[in-house]
Chains A and B, each alone.
Chain A
Amino acid sequence: MLKKNPYIWAGLGLLAAGSLVFLSSYFILLITWLTALGICMLILSFIFLALGRTIPKLSPEVSSLLLETGISNIATLVEELGIKSKAIYLPSTITNGKPQALIPLHVNPSPPTIKEALPQRLIVRYGANPDDIGLLVTTTGTTAVSMLEVKPGPTSTELESALTSLFTGLLGVADRTRVITAENHINVEIYNPRIENKTTWFHECLGSPLASIVASVAAEAWNRPITIKQEEHHRGRYSIELEVLG
């Protein structure tokens, strides 16, 4: 059974109109160019129908509702605890499953190297000092990484390909990305992003949704903890600077 969405309706409309034009011009009117136009319409109808089948059932509004609800709960938690430190995005090898973000409860300019896998809990101890306690949370990046078909490699090209595939092909939130790596720094530029950037306490801590996705993918690609150093939005270009830790 076909899910009815604008692509399916357009496909069915073109299929009916294309068949009519093709058959009438080929068998009755005997006009070649009109027959060719009918073929064009049929080809486009097949494409519409093929793509229409891949449109998710959930509307963007419902997805936004679920995302906002999830983010709002974590934001409340972060603000109530008065956390001011930047989140550390961890790869799945450190979190025992999926890439997550660790929000240290205390600001530490030189966080300890996380060598052992952290337990799957909300409050975790990640170092030897008594202050080395943080919140291990799931972010938008966690879910986004699971959408990738293969784990990306650490080179600029591989990371760029994974991010473009994610942002352009799967999520449709940007036109393209560019990645430049230099030692322990990764600079990512996202062209024409279509996600609203907010400057709330929560976003200061975890970064914007785009930065969160980039940091999670990069952490998974490099298999090392990563923090968001800087974010900047300038004329349709969103620049994110990441620092690889440990």
Chain B
Amino acid sequence: MKIYNSYILTVAVLLLLTTIILISFGQNSLDVYYTIYILEALVVTELYVYFNAKARRGLNLVSAILFGGFLVIVSLRVIEILA
């Protein structure tokens, strides 16, 4: 399952690099971290077009969960602004 390992390694390296870069920029907002993480995960998942159908379904579910988390963050921000 070389494609799985390659995909996981790509996502892991990207997320860690992002964390290091954001820390070095002094970023202190968890929302920014999370938003960039899910954007990267979604883009990498879309780039791996040759996954089998079962793996694609599983990753789509993960993407949906991550996107749900993003919507929660946006909703909290909207409520904060309105309040």
**Interface residues, chain A, with chain B CB atoms under 8 Å away:** 7, 26, 32-33, 35-37, 39-40, 43-44, 46-48, 50-51, 53-55, 149, 164-165, 168-170, 172, 175, 194
Cβ-closest 7 pairs across A and B: A50-B58, A169-B50, A36-B33, A54-B54, A40-B15, A54-B55, A46-B62
B65 CB contacts on chain A under 8 angstroms: 46
A44 touches B12 (CB 8 A): yes
B74 within 8 A of A: no
**In the assembly, what is the distance between CA of A53 and CA of B27, in Å?**
36
B72 within 8 A of A: no
Number of chain B residues close to chain A: CB under 8 A: 34
B52 touches A169 (CB 8 A): yes
B51 CB contacts on chain A under 8 angstroms: 169
Per-residue interface assignment for chain B, residues 46 to 73, with 1 indicating a CB less than 8 Å from any chain A CB and 0 otherwise: 0000111111001101100110000000
Nearest-neighbour CB distance to chain B for A90, whole angstroms, equals 26
Total residue contacts A-B, CB cutoff 8 A: 84
Q: A55-B1, A172-B3 are in contact. Are A44 and B34 (CB under 8 A)?
A: no
Task: Point out which of B12, B28, B29, B38 has the most chain A C-beta atoms below 10 A from its C-beta.
Answer: B12
B19 CB contacts on chain A under 8 angstroms: 33, 36-37, 40
**In the assembly, what is the distance between CA of A224 and CA of B29, in Å?**
61
Contact of A47 among B8, B28, B34 (CB under 8 A): B8
Nearest-neighbour CB distance to chain A for B31, whole angstroms, equals 10
B3 CB contacts on chain A under 8 angstroms: 168-169, 172
Give 29 A-B contacts (CB < 8 Å), ordered by A residue.
A7-B4, A32-B30, A35-B30, A36-B37, A37-B19, A39-B37, A40-B19, A43-B11, A43-B15, A43-B38, A43-B62, A44-B8, A46-B62, A46-B65, A46-B66, A47-B59, A50-B55, A50-B62, A51-B7, A51-B55, A51-B59, A55-B1, A149-B53, A164-B50, A168-B3, A168-B50, A169-B50, A172-B2, A175-B2
